[in-house]
Structure 1
Amino acid sequence: MLKIFDEVAIEVVLMSFPEYEQIHSSIHVRITDLPIITSLRDLRQNQLNCLVRICGVVTRRSGVFPQLKYVKYDCLKCGSILGPFFQDAQHEIKVGNCPNCQSRGPFTVNSEQTIYRNYQRMTLQESPGSVPAGRLPRHREVILLWDLIDSAKPGEEVEITGVYRNNFDASLNTKNGFPVFATIVEAN
């Protein structure tokens, strides 16, 4: 998602409606109708970390899972709460030491104050009419977050605007013997 749009949108809304934060703590800006449609077959490395618009048929989707967004930790030695720490998909949060008692742990996740977001994966496959004769249809994993989960069912033809990203996959590295990244589309 494009976080800067979300941050600016919430700032603008809070200027006009300060009480909105009591209803919802975040706003998600969605970009639609991007002028250029890219075929799943034509997604390449020069489009990595770029906004793309793709079309296809949903072939599979996972269940809905909670994913960490902001995590808080409890220090088990002094009882103080550490955080919030922003958790993104690429990095794992490691707490070095407690600022209150300077201990190096142990720390546990404070599940009451930690904020989660909804997370779902779906597989998007080229539409049957767009596959060249004699070729197998290509597919891509699409990540759905927040309110986008369950927005499409298997068998539906959809149009998705999102950011084309690489995703570290240890099994691909083991299989190929050198660093390889899988690619996904993070739906906007």
Structure 2
Amino acid sequence: MDMKDASLGPSSYAVLGMVNNCGAATSYDIKRQIDQSVGNFWTFARSQLYAEPQRLAELGLLQEEQEDFGRRRRLFQLTEQGKQVLEAWLSDPGTPTTELRDMGLMKLYFSKGRPTEAIRTLARQQQEVHRTKLAEYQEMHRQLSLIPEATFGLASLRLGCLFEESTIQFWEEIEQNPPALPQKPERPLEVQEG
């Protein structure tokens, strides 16, 4: 099967990569691991992550085994073909540009004509949102620092911290100097000669 025809997207590669990193896992395990790692910089629909392992198994990229006892969970692991597809994707130099989805930035963009204080309030709210996320990343960094195998997670997390720090700085600047429409010069009164 030509994998280009199989329409593999970011969720496909996230699932393949997570199973490669963690070994045999249930759909729930995969989703939980993604939420705690790459889900911090790429969001996936919950339903998509639960359905994707089954789809990848149908494509021959994952192997599915059901436990014979207990909850009879379905465990997924990479097939040789799945390893090849993951390696091809990791080796592909074509990476699309970064997609930034930031609701605060969209609100700022559409704030034309709003009062200056409303823009400052938005800026303060966004600073708090990003300070909270930065604190989460810093705690994750602390925890991952204790795990020798977490070097790649730590490297990815570093960019997350830098992003949050620069975003906080951006919103601090907006709070101090909110964008405003240029003032129209007042027209001098025209004197009519009589």
TM range (shorter): under 0.3
TM-score, normalised with respect to structure 1: 0.24
> Whose helix fraction is larger, Structure 1's or Structure 2's?
2
> Whose strand fraction is larger, Structure 1's or Structure 2's?
1
TM-score, normalised with respect to structure 2: 0.24
